């Protein structure tokens, strides 16, 4: 039973570029949440997807967008990259509102040069 | 202002010591998570609790709803317990608000 998988594991981009990160949820899960974790900080909630729609959003600009596919996998897109976007991006999956722990992937480490 | 506060930020201990990490949250929540993050970045969920106390091996988590406070205890600490421990408050919309984490190092 595969857990949450994220790709790629590492990524280097330059300012102004665009990036797409991918997440496959744990088998049986239907909800995907994305988090940004800057170095030395706790994760910050970006947004959550359920039934292919964004259900909740944290305090992130519109440069951050996402998508969920019919198979429940998800993408996080970031446009016009800034140096401050350098972080570990974590994906977590769960069953929608069933009050069980979220399962986390190992993250994608994004570095902006 | 972060709605979840953890202390201490850094903690060092000798193998065998009893360890306590504290977490306070500022508004009503539906549950409180304790998570463990290793240097590679992967996060493992240790506990989710909404009342009382839970125990798993050498780990114990408690929560006091009235005082909006939770603690994670590690008994007989071991170097393999070295990691960042994060508490996260779950609100009724499935949104997790994380603390900044406590970096624990246990020396032999």
**Distance from C-alpha of A56 to C-alpha of B14, rounded to nearest angstrom:** 43
pLDDT at position A97 is 77
Give the pLDDT band (50/70/90) at residue A1. low
Is the per-residue pLDDT at B93 higher than 80?
no
- Determine, for residues A35 and B98 on separate chains, whether the beta-carbon distance falls below 8 Å: yes
Give the pLDDT band (50/70/90) at residue A47. very high
Handedness of CA B79, A105, A5, B59 (dihedral sign): positive
Peptide bond into A8 cis (omega under 30): yes
Give the pLDDT band (50/70/90) at residue A40. confident
Return the bridge partners of A82, or none. Answer: none
Which tokens is B82 given? Answer: 């070295």
pLDDT tens-digit readout, B53-88: 999 999 999 999 889 999 999 999 999 999 999 999
- Determine, for residues B93 and A105 on separate chains, whether the beta-carbon distance falls below 8 Å: no
CB contacts of B30 in chain A (<8 Å) are 99
């Amino acid at each position: 039973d595969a857990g949450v998988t994220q790709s790629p594991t590492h990524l280097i981009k330059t300012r102004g570029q665009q990036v797409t990160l991918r997440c496959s949820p744990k088998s049986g899960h239907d909800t995907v949440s994305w988090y940004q974790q800057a170095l030395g900080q706790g994760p910050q909630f970006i947004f959550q997807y359920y039934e292919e729609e964004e259900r909740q959003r944290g305090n992130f600009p519109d440069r951050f967008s996402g998508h969920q596919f019919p198979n429940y996998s998800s993408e996080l897109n970031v446009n016009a990259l800034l140096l401050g976007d350098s972080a570990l991006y974590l994906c977590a999956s769960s069953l929608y509102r069933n009050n069980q722990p979220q399962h986390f992937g190992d993250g994608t480490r994004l570095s902006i040069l | 202002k972060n709605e979840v506060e953890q202390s201490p930020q850094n903690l060092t201990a000798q193998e065998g010591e009893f360890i306590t990490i504290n977490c306070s949250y500022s508004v009503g929540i539906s549950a409180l998570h304790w998570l463990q993050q290793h240097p590679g970045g992967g996060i493992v969920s240790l506990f989710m609790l909404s009342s009382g106390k839970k125990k798993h091996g050498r780990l114990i988590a408690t929560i006091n709803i009235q005082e909006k406070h939770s603690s994670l205890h590690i008994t007989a600490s071991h170097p393999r317990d070295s990691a960042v421990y994060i508490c996260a408050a779950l609100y009724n919309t499935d949104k997790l608000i994380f603390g900044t984490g406590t970096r624990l190092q246990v020396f032999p």
